[in-house]
Each structure stands twice: as structure tokens, then as C-alpha cells.
Amino acid sequence: MSKVLRFTGGEDFYSGGSIYPSPKEASLFLSLGKHVDVYFPPRKRSRINAPFVFSEDLFEQKRQDTIEVLPDECLFEIFRRLPGGQERSACACVSKRWLTLLSNICPNELRSQNNLAPTSGGEEVVSEDDGFLSRSLEGKKATDIRLAAIAVGTADRGGLGKLSIRGSKSSRVTKLGLGAIAHGCPSLRALSLWHLSSVGDEGLLEIANGCRQLQKLDLCHCPQITDKFLVAVARNCPNLTNISIETCSSIGNEGLAAVGQFCQNLKSISIKNCPGVSDQGVVGLISRAGSALTKVKLQALNITDVSLAVIGHYATAVNDLTLTSLHNVTERGFWVMGNGHGLQRLRSLIVAACRGATDLGLESLGKGCPNLKQLCIRSSAFLSDGGLVSLMKSASSLESLQLEECHRITLSGLFGLLVDCGDKLKSLALTNCWGFKGFDFRSPQVSSCKSLRSFSIRNCPGFVDACLVTLGKICPHLQQVELSGITGITDEGILRLLECCEDGLVKVNLSGCINLTDRVVSAMAKLHGRTLEALILDGCTKIGDLGLLAIAENCQLLSDLDVSKCAISDFGLTALACSSQLNLQVLSMSGCSLVSDKCLPALKKVGRTLLGLNLQHCTAISTRSVDLLLEELWRCDILA
């Protein structure tokens, strides 16, 4: 070793002395031991304090990332100079600190701006191409960290346009996460917040100031959000078109009045179960709203007849109106609303669980809405047969009528309606009406309701075979028939109805009619097989293979078939598979216990055209057969 240290590059070894003439250079040696010296050349002031660690025969140098010791202000300046969104996204993955800093950089603070251009006033302008990305957070995934990641990650990928947050007890959303969205997503157009009990105005006010392109706002079960936020949104977001507020106890009249005053582009508003909203808020909203407002929904509010009077006078552009559970509104409110002559454009009306919806109130409303096309009345305890007929006569343009839980309507009122007002009605539906008792109606000799095309009755006890006979004579042009849960009808009534339908049935739903047999299906297939497109026989336990055989032979246009819980077997499915003209797209056979693995070849053949197949609760079909179908019918959605 001593000879090596004395070697000067010539043929002889150096005899002694220092190899560096200058003592200063000699001091640059760093002694690590008795026989080991390491030389460091001259350099500037060291940036890294890196001690050496000896491990066996290797030397390892521990290094510390010096950028971490920089204050947030310096990192902020570095991050806002990054060339693009990919680089910012990559940096955001390093640590929560970096993510937080990046998420608080506003687009107008970036040195390299791809989507934004400064205006003369210093504000940013969002490109029309921004805002087509959609993000949704639910439950425990709703956290500030994820919101910050969304704010950073979507900025350079088209911009965030829709954000939905469905909270729960495990959600951790605060003003920090919402502030990140406000800073990084100026293109946000739709915001939906559900079940966020801890979210208040502080973070949302930043969104109101930073996301001025907002068009749709949906708030549900957010008790800490107040009028302060709603006022800020109304002032700062002129493009707001849709607002839905449900069960927000701190939102009241001031916020609604501001919406009516500043949101002149508002098209739709829905307010449900907000105890702070009264007549003052509804009046301020409706009386100030612009001509763009076309849809209004008021449900479970502490409003009175005053609000309905204002609607009847000022809601001149509204064509869709829903009034539900307004317990303080009386008959006078509906009467005044109908006589206000402001609902000339109203085309769709839903009135549910309103004690003021009496015969007189609804008749007045029908007169005041000359263009009303669709009417739905639910849970009306005061609408009678006479009121129903008067309503139909006053609503001269009505085409679709739905009655649900109107127990004072009887069979006499129903058929009286069809006879006296059947020149324009196209669709009639009744659900859970229990007043159908003691039928004694003499049907006319000629048809009276030539316009009716769709008739639906669900869970109405008292509707029997004689009703179907009368219905067929009065309405010979039916194309869609639903008799769901009507246990009182038999083959005889259905057969008489089938014979009266002159134009050919297109859609038939007989689910829950437990007394029907294959005889009905065979007759329907022969009489209407050339027009039938959908047949629902769910729960018809007496219908089996003979019905499927008739369908296979006659129904060439059938695309939707539901034989769930029917008495079909492998033989019936084989008959369907052998049909050369049948092209089913949806087949449901849930709960068919007689179908086994033997039908697998038939299902494969039928499945060539299927888009949906329901095999749930078919206990005789093995898991292996289902797996084979999943592999074979890859285009079909299979439920098993």
C-alpha cells in the first residue's frame, strides 16, 4: 500500500513527502480509518449533508430530499410553473401535502394555461370544451383527499362538469375538499350533495364564487346549508337552470327569493320538506321568476292558499306542475289557482295528498288549464264520481288520466267517464282504488270511447269479468292493456275483451292474475299474434307449456316475454327454440322450478337474439349450466 501511495506515474515509486505540493489540497483528504483515505475535489458550498455509512464491503450514502424542507410558499411557486396537467397529477401522488398545495392552485394562477385565457378584468374564461367529465363519491369514499385528487386530476383532462357526493356516517367531507373543487374546477356545471350533515356554508361559498358556470344544483338532507349559500349561488351563477332542495332545514324564504330575483334562466325548481319555506319564499320565487321557468314541484311545505293563488297568476310559462302533501291548502286555493288564468301553458299536473283537491277545486283547475294533457291525482279522499266527470268535461284537452288511491271513485263513475268524455282520452290508469263494488252498469250498444288506446288497472278489488266485457264494448281500439293483481277475473272475461279489440293488442300485462290458464294465452296468440310485442304473465301459476307453444307458433313480433313463476317446463322452452319466426330480446323466467338443465340447448338457441335473460330462483338449473350460458351468450345480460 505504501508503494502505491508513493507512485507518481513514472517507473519509480515516490520516495516520500506529500503528493500535493499545497497543504490546502492535502487537507481535502477525509480519513475513514487507519488505511483508507478518500479524496474530495474542490467544490462550492455543500447543498447536501450526507454522512457515509459503512456496511460490509459497500459504502451507502443516505440522502434526504431537500425539496421537502422548502416552505409551502416556495412549493406553490414551483407547482404553478409545471408545464401541464400530467406533471401536476404526478406530483400530487407524492404526498398529501403536495396534493393539498396543488389542489389550492386556481387555474388563473398557473403560468402554463391550456384551457383558460385571461380577460381584461383579470377573470378566467372557461373553454366550451371543458366540463364533460363526471365524478361520483359515495359513503366512506367521500373524503377531502378524494375531492382534492378530483380537482387536480380532471383539470387537464377535459375539466370536471358533474360532481355527485352521496354521504354517510363515515363520510369525511369538509370545507377543505369543497374548497379544492372551487379552486380547481371552474367548469363545474352540476353539483349534487346528499346526506352531508357536517357540510355548511363555508366551503360551499367558495364553490359559489369559483364555479360560476354552475347550471344544476341538488341538495338533499344537508341541514347545515343555509340561505347564505343559496343567495351566493343565485348572485354568482347566472346560468343556473335546475334547482332541487329536499329536507334542508336551514334553507328558507330568503334563499328562494334570491333565486327568483337573480336566476332568470331558471327552468326547473323542486322544493320538498323544507320547514323554513313558507308563502313568503314561494311568492318571492314565483312572482320574480323569468319566463324560462317551466317546471315547479312543491312537496310537504308549510304554504297556504296564498302560494297557489300566486302560482295561478304569475306562473305563465309553467307547463309541468306538481303539488304534493300541501296540508294547509284548502279548496279555495285550488279554485283561485284555476281562476287566475295564468296556467294557460300547463300541460302536466300532479296533485297528491292535498285535502283541497275536491270536486269543485279540481273542476276549476281543469277550466283554468285549457292545454292540460296529462293529469295525475293521488290519495284524494274527496274526489267523487260526479267531480271526476265534471273535471273531464272542463279539461277539454286532457289525453292521459291517472287515479291512485281515489277510493270514492266507483265503477259507475269509471264507465260514465268513458261514455261521456271518451272523445279525447287516450290513456287511463287506476291504481289501488277500492271503491269498485256492486257493478250494475248497462253497457251501450255502440262504442263510446274511440280514442282510448291504453287502459291500466292495478290492485283494484271488485274489478271482475263483467267489467272487462263492458270495457271491451266501450273501448274497441285498445292496444295496451294492463290488468295487474286483479284476482277476480277469469278466462271468460279476458276472452270477451280480446274479441272486442279491433286494432290488435301490442302490449299486455296480466301479472298476478292467478285464475288465468293456457286458454287465454292461446286465444291471444291467435287473435293478436301479428301485433303483440310484449306479454307479461308474471305470477300466472296456471299458465304452462301449451301457452308457450301457441306463442311460438303465432307471435312473430314478440320481443319481450315474462313467464316468471309460471308452470312452464323444458318442453315449453324447447317449443320456443324451435320457432323459426320468434325473435325475443328479453325473456324472464324467474322462479320457474320445473325448468332444469335439460333446457340448456333451447336457451342457447333462443339466446341468439336475446339481450336480457332472467334465471333467478330457477332452482333446477345448476351453476355449471349458468356458467356455460354466460360464456355462450356473451351479448346477453343474464341474471341468475
End-to-end CA, the chain: 82
For the ranges 8-12, 77-81, 145-149, the maximum mean pLDDT occurs at 145-149
Among 632, 536, 550, residue whose Cα is nearest residue 590: 536
Calculate what percentage of the chain has a pLDDT beyond 90.
64
As a whole number of angstroms, the distance between CA 119 and CA 507 comes to: 58
pLDDT score recorded for residue 122: 40
- Residue 572 pLDDT: 95
Tell whether the model's pLDDT for residue 91 goes beyond 80: no
Residue 417 has pLDDT above 60, yes or no: yes
The CA-based angle 607-609-614, given to 5 degrees, is: 50
pLDDT at res. 71: 77
Record the cell numbers describing residue 321, joined without a space: 306542475
Helix, coil or strand: residue 544: strand
Q: In this predicted structure, what is the pLDDT of residue 56?
A: 44
The CATH H-level superfamily of 526-640 is: Ribonuclease Inhibitor (3.80.10.10)
Give strand pairing partners of 483.
457
Kindly tell me if the per-residue pLDDT of 4 is higher than 70. Answer: no
Residue 303 has pLDDT above 90, yes or no: yes
More confident position, 270 or 127: 270
Q: Is 17 exposed, middle or buried (0-12, 13-18, 19+ CB in 10 A)?
A: exposed
Mean pLDDT over residues 38-53, rounded? Answer: 42
Residue 111: pLDDT over 70: no
Residues 142-199: pLDDT tens digits?
Answer: 988 888 888 887 777 778 999 999 988 777 888 888 988 988 888 999 999 999 988 9
Q: Are 572 and 548 in contact (CB under 8 A)?
A: yes
Running DSSP on this structure, what letter comes out for residue 220? E
- pTM as predicted: 0.81
Q: Where are the domains of the chain?
A: 2-64, 526-640
Amino acid 44: pLDDT: 43
In this structure, what DSSP letter does residue 398 have? -
Half-sphere exposure of 393 (CA within 13 A, CB side): 12
For residues 152 and 468, what is the distance between their CA atoms, to the nearest angstrom? Answer: 64
Distance (Å, whole) CA 361 – CA 571: 58
**DSSP helix/strand/coil, 204:** helix
Residues 570 and 598 sit within 8 Å (Cβ to Cβ)? yes
pLDDT tens, 13-38? 333 444 344 444 444 333 333 333 33
Which residue carries 357526493 as its cell? 165
Map grid coordinates 300541460 to a residue: 347
> Regarding predicted confidence, which is higher, 448 or 310?
310
Higher pLDDT, 195 or 5: 195
Q: Give the count of beta carbons closer than 10 Å to the beta carbon of residue 29.
A: 12
The confidence score (pLDDT) of residue 422 equals 65
The DSSP secondary structure of 66-89, one letter per residue, reads: GGGGS-HHHHHHHHTT-SSHHHHH
For residue range 113-127, list pLDDT tens digits in order: 444 444 433 444 444
Q: What is the pLDDT of residue 431?
A: 96
pLDDT at 75: 73
Position 442 confidence tier, pLDDT thresholds 50, 70, 90 = low
What pLDDT sits at residue 441?
Answer: 62
pLDDT in tens, 383-399: 999 999 999 989 989 99
Beta-bridged to residue 31, according to DSSP, are 37
* Whether the predicted pLDDT of 59 surpasses 50: no
Tell me which of 300 and 109 has the higher pLDDT. 300
Is 95's pLDDT higher than 50? yes
213 pLDDT more than 50: yes
How far is it between the farthest Cα atoms of the chain? 138
Instruction: For strands 374-378 and 348-352, give the pairing.
Output: parallel
> What is the tens place of the pLDDT at every residue in 456-495?
999 998 899 999 999 999 999 999 999 999 998 999 999 9
- Among residues 198, 112, 95, the alpha carbon closest in space to that of 149 is found at 95
